[in-house]
Amino acid sequence: MYPRWLWPSFALPGVLWLIILFVVPFYAVIGVAFGTIDPILLSAVPIWNPVEWNVGWVSEVLSRLEPGGDFWTVFVRTCEYVFASLGLSILIGYPVAYYIARHASRTKSLLLILLIMPFWISYLMRMFAWVNLLAPDGYVNRFLQFAHVIDQPYGFLDGKSSTVIFALVYGYIPYLILPLYASLDRIDKSQLEAARDLGASPLQAFLRVTLPLSKTGILGGCVLIALPMFGDYYTPNLVSGAPTTSMLGNQIDLYFHSTSQPTIGAALTILLSIFLVVLMGYYMITVARATRDLESV
């Protein structure tokens, strides 16, 4: 009923926008990373033609990314932080999502609203709240001293890895719980009843029915929070600020904002993106599949 040109022309402004301000900018990063540095102004001179690319900076970054190099240490640390945070987030998030999906009947709407709340509170505000609580004279230290767990205020904010992991969990866990909840909520109860009728113990039913059926939710949620965690720099900066807890994002931030070496920063950004493309691809294929299912209904 509609003319054939209508839908592509509707899509045109948005597609053009994203090409000009999302795809082209990425090429700018590549151009800078493979470019040179002006010897006098010390500013980046991008090279647009792939034939003339200067691989010097990228290979320098790559050599520092090999075991023993300084970027390697940061890369390993970033992976440790992200995986520790993912593990903790699942440990906390799964029972919560499970309870709300399966057991909360009357309180379900209220719990869902409370669950979504953190989405609408600025991430910076939530981190700021914890910085206040963990300060030497903050509530946490005063409580611990009151309970005689510690005598002196503990320096939570003095470059502790555990604080950074804790902050990452606190910051990103809402984005994990929601997809988890969605996948658990979708599970047909009759399948569990069937498992129980066929003699599975409750634990077996959970391990062999619920858990496999929620696998997509777990993986999807993990990817969804792992991606921003890998690019995070503000969380470690806010709750620690010490170089001993710096993540890959901090290095990128540093090369652009503190030392003006955008070439190294750009090269790091590209390597980070290549590393993350696998995760992104996984997520986008899942989304594309879900969209197709929606369309076919």
Sequential DSSP letters for 74-119: HHHHHHHHHHHHHHHHHHHHHHHHHHHHHT-STTHHHHHHHHHGGG
Using the rule CB under 8 A, give the single segment among 54-62, 65-73, 78-86, 167-175 that binds another protein.
Answer: 167-175
Of 109, 74, 94, 38, which Cα lies nearest the Cα of 221?
Answer: 94
- Strand-strand pairing, 36-37 and 44-45: antiparallel
- Interaction between residue 23 and another protein (CB under 8 A): yes
Residues 65-94 that bind another protein (CB under 8 A): 92-93
Using the rule CB under 8 A, give the single segment among 19-27, 57-65, 75-83, 144-152 that binds another protein.
Answer: 19-27
The DSSP code for 243 is G
Site track for another protein across 32-71, x = CB under 8 A: x-----------x-x-------------------------
Residues 187-216 that bind another protein (CB under 8 A): 192, 201-203, 205-206
- Interaction between residue 278 and another protein (CB under 8 A): no
Candidates 79, 88, 135, 187; binder of another protein (CB under 8 A) is 135
47 touches 36 (CB < 8 A): yes
Site track for another protein across 98-117, x = CB under 8 A: xxx-xxx---xx-xx-xxxx
Please enumerate in sequence order all residues whose Cβ is within 8 A of that of 63, keeping only pairs 6 or more positions apart, or say none.
Answer: 69
Cβ-based nearer residue to another protein, 32 or 64: 32
Give me the amino acid identity at 52.
Answer: E
Chain center to CA of 263: 25
- Interaction between residue 133 and another protein (CB under 8 A): yes
Cβ-based nearer residue to another protein, 80 or 202: 202
Using the rule CB under 8 A, give the single segment among 67-75, 143-151, 211-219, 233-241 that binds another protein.
Answer: 233-241
| Rg, the chain, Cα only | 24
